[in-house]
Amino acid sequence: MTAHPPLRAHHFVKVACEDCNLTRICLPKDLEDDGIKDLSKVVRRDRTLQKGETLYWAGESFSGIYALKSGSAKLVHTDRQGRETIISLVLPGELFGFDGLTAKEHRCALVALETSRYCELASSDLEPLAKKIPSLQHILLERSCEQMDQVVEQLAASQRPAEERLAGFLLDLASRYQRRGFPFESFNLSLTRQDIGHHLGLALETVSRLLGRLESAGIIKVQGKRIQLLDINGLKTAAGQPEERSASTLI
Amino acid sequence: MTAHPPLRAHHFVKVACEDCNLTRICLPKDLEDDGIKDLSKVVRRDRTLQKGETLYWAGESFSGIYALKSGSAKLVHTDRQGRETIISLVLPGELFGFDGLTAKEHRCALVALETSRYCELASSDLEPLAKKIPSLQHILLERSCEQMDQVVEQLAASQRPAEERLAGFLLDLASRYQRRGFPFESFNLSLTRQDIGHHLGLALETVSRLLGRLESAGIIKVQGKRIQLLDINGLKTAAGQPEERSASTLI
DNA sequence: CGGTAATTTGACTCTTCTCAAGAGGCGTGG
DNA sequence: CCACGCCTCTTGAGAAGAGTCAAATTACCG
C-alpha cells in the first residue's frame, strides 16, 4: 500500500468532488468521472459542526446521506433507559445517515467529536441523481452493506474479552488513520474514555485500566488522548489475532 | 392489526410471487403489481434445505439475495477463534444474503434450523431486473438498512443484563410469529439453548437458568422448545420496556 | 429400544462493574 | 500570568453477574 500525504483540511475553499482529497475513500471512489461531476453538482458542501454539536438527533426525519470531510464524529444509539452505545466512529471520507433511511427517521444521533466539516446529499436530490447515475443506488446499497458488515463484526466482538476488544479497536483505528495518510503507529483519540467504553461495551474505568495494562506490557504508550503503538505484533496478539509471520522470524 | 390465517407451506406447488402468501412481508411488499410479475419471472423458487444444511458458508462467493419461504434459519458469524455469533434468526418472508454483497463473498453462513424452503434472486438477474423495475435497487437499499437497524439494536442490547436480553428476544419472536399468522402467546423455538446463547451473547447454561427463572416468576411456561407467554406485561418489564397502560388500569 | 444430543441444575470462579476518592489537564476570567 | 473550577482520567476495594466445569436428567432420532 502506498502512503499518501496527510489529508489536509481545505479550510477556506469549497472543493468540487472531483478535486477533493477524499476521492479515493468517499462516495466518488466507485463512480466513473461523469458520475462524480453529476454528484458534485448537487452535493451541499462544507458545512461545519463544532465540537459537541449534533447534526441530527434520533427521531429526526431523514434528510439525506452525508459524508464527513474533516474532523471526526460519533454515531450514537440511545435506548429507552438512556444507555448510550456508540455504533461507529466516523472519520473523513466515511458516509453516514443510513440509520434513517428505512424508517425515514433517524435511529441514532450524529455528534461531532471535534470541529468537523461534512457534505450532504439531500434525499430530495437522490432520486433525480440516481436517474443520471444508474450505478448510484447500487453503490449506496454496497456501502450500507459494508456498514452492516462492520456492525456485525462489532456484535461478534462484543462476546470477546475486554482486552481483545480494546486492542482490536486500536488496530482498526490505526489502519483507518493510515489510509488517510497519517502514520499507523501514532494517533490522537478524539473519543473520551467514556466514549470508548460506550463503543466497546465497557465501563470507562475498565478502558482506563486496560490502556494502563497494555502500556505496562510495553505494547503501547499512552499520554492522555495520544496513543503510540510500540509493539504491533504484541497488540495483534492481545487482540486475539494470529500474529503475522514477520520477515525476521523467517530466518 | 388484522390476524392472517397461519402461513401454510405449499409443499407441492410452486407459487408465483403474486400468489405467494408472503407477499405482505417478502420483497413484493414494496413493489407495484407489474414489478411483482417481473420479479416472479426471474426468481428461482422453492428450493429446499434440510435441517442443519447450509445454503452458503462464510467465504463463499456471493450469488444473490434470498428470501425464506418456509421453516427457519440462522445467519452465523464465526470469528478466527471459532466462536460463533448468530446474527439473526431468519423467518419466512425475510431476506438474507446481504452479508455477501459488498465483498462479493459471504461473511456469514446460513444454516437451516428445520426443513425449509427459500427463493433466490440471482445476482446475475439483479442488474437486468433493476432496469425493468427502477425502484428495486432502492427497495433493496431500504431492506439492507432495515437489517442494519436490527443489528444495531442487538449491539445496543448486548450491553444490557442477560434477563432483559432474553425477555426482549422472546417478545421480538412472538411479534414476528404473530405477523405471520401464528398466535402471539405461544410458539416453538427452532433454536437450541446453545443457539439462543450464541444469539444473545450468553452461555447456554445461563439461557436455561433464565428461562427457568422467568417460568418460576409465572411469566412464561417452558416445555422444552415450546414457549408460552403467560404475562406479557411481566415479560415487557423483564425486558426493561415500559409497560403499556392497559385498559384495566385506566378505570 | 438404544444411543446421542440437548437440557437442567449445582458449585465455584472470574471478569468486569460499581462506588469512591484523588490527580491531572484545560479553558476562562480576573 | 495565575487561580479557579470543571471535566476527564486514574486507581483502589468490594460486589455481582455471568461463565466454566461437572454430573444427572430428559428428549429425540433411527
What secondary structure does DSSP assign to B28-49, as a single string? GGGS-HHHHHHHHHH-EEEEEE
3-state DSSP assignment of residue A244: coil
Task: Report chain B's mean pLDDT, rounded to a whole number.
Answer: 93
Residue B68 β-bridge partners: B118
**pLDDT of A5 over the 70 cut:** no
A205 sits within 7 Å of strand D by its CB = yes
A158 sits within 7 Å of strand D by its CB = no
Q: Domain limits of chain A?
A: 17-157, 162-250
Query: Are B17-157 and B162-250 equal in CATH topology?
Result: no
Distances from the Cα of B169 to the Cα of B164, B191, B195, B212, angstroms: 8, 12, 12, 15
Instruction: Please check whether residue B63 touches A, CB under 8 A.
Output: no
**What is the predicted pLDDT for the residue at A250?**
47
Please count the other Cβ atoms lying within 10 Å of the Cβ belonging to residue A59. Answer: 13
Short-list B180, B153, B171, CA closest to B219: B171
3-state DSSP assignment of residue B235: helix
Separation of alpha carbons B61 and B80, rounded Å: 19
How many residues are there in chain B? 251
Q: Where are the beta strands (DSSP E) in B61-176?
A: 64-70, 73-78, 84-90, 95-96, 109-112, 116-122
- First-to-last alpha carbon distance for chain B, in angstroms, is 25
Residues 133-162 of B with CB under 7 A from strand D: 161-162
Instruction: Please check whether residue A79 touches B, CB under 8 A.
Output: yes
Q: Tell me if A112 sits within 8 A of A89, measured CB to CB.
A: no
A149 contacts in chain B (CB < 8 Å): 99, 102-103, 107
Q: Tell me if B190 sits within 8 A of B72, measured CB to CB.
A: yes
Average pLDDT over residues B106-135: 95
- First-to-last alpha carbon distance for chain A, in angstroms, is 25
Separation of alpha carbons A94 and A146, rounded Å: 11
* Burial class of residue A221 (count of CB atoms within 10 Å of its CB; 0-12, 13-18, 19+): middle
Task: Show the cell assigned to A128.
Answer: 433525480
Task: Report chain A's mean pLDDT, rounded to a whole number.
Answer: 92
What percent of chain A is helix, strand and coil (3-state, nearest 5)? 40, 20, 35
At the second CATH level, the architecture of A162-250 is Orthogonal Bundle (1.10)
Separation of alpha carbons A157 and A168, rounded Å: 9
**What is the predicted pLDDT for the residue at A14?**
79
Residues B60, A177, A235, A150: what is their CA dihedral angle, to the nearest 10 degrees? -30
Average pLDDT over residues B192-208: 98
Average pLDDT over residues A201-226: 97
- Which range is least confidently modeled, B105-109, B147-151, B242-246? B242-246
**What is the predicted pLDDT for the residue at B10?**
46
Residue A54 β-bridge partners: A111
Q: Which helix (H) or strand (E) holds B214?
A: helix B204-216
For B37-96, the pLDDT digits (tens) are: 999 999 999 899 999 999 999 999 999 999 999 999 999 999 999 999 999 999 999 999
B241 contacts in chain A (CB < 8 Å): 80
pLDDT band for A244, please (50, 70, 90 cuts). Answer: low
Distances from the Cα of B90 to the Cα of A156, A171, B176, angstroms: 18, 33, 10
Cα distance from B3 to chain A (closest Cα, Å)?
23
Task: Show the cell assigned to A126.
Answer: 437522490
Task: Show the cell assigned to B121.
Answer: 434472486
Instruction: Please check whether residue A99 touches B, CB under 8 A.
Output: yes
Separation of alpha carbons B211 and B160, rounded Å: 17
For A89-120, the pLDDT digits (tens) are: 999 999 999 999 999 999 999 999 999 999 99
Distances from the Cα of A147 to the Cα of A42, A203, B36, angstroms: 24, 25, 29
Short-list B109, B74, B95, B106, CA closest to B196: B74
**pLDDT of B242 over the 90 cut:** no
B244 vs A86, which has greater pLDDT? A86
Q: Which helix (H) or strand (E) holds A49?
A: strand A44-49
Separation of alpha carbons A8 and A24, rounded Å: 14
**What is the predicted pLDDT for the residue at A154?**
98
Distances from the Cα of A249 to the Cα of A235, A241, A245, A246, angstroms: 17, 17, 6, 6
Cα distance from B59 to chain A (closest Cα, Å)?
13
Strands B73-78 and B226-229: unpaired
Please count the other Cβ atoms lying within 10 Å of the Cβ belonging to residue A41. Answer: 12
Largest CA distance in chain B: 60
Block residue for cell numbers 497494555: A214
At the second CATH level, the architecture of A17-157 is Sandwich (2.60)
Cα distance from B11 to chain A (closest Cα, Å)?
33
Average pLDDT over residues B121-145: 95
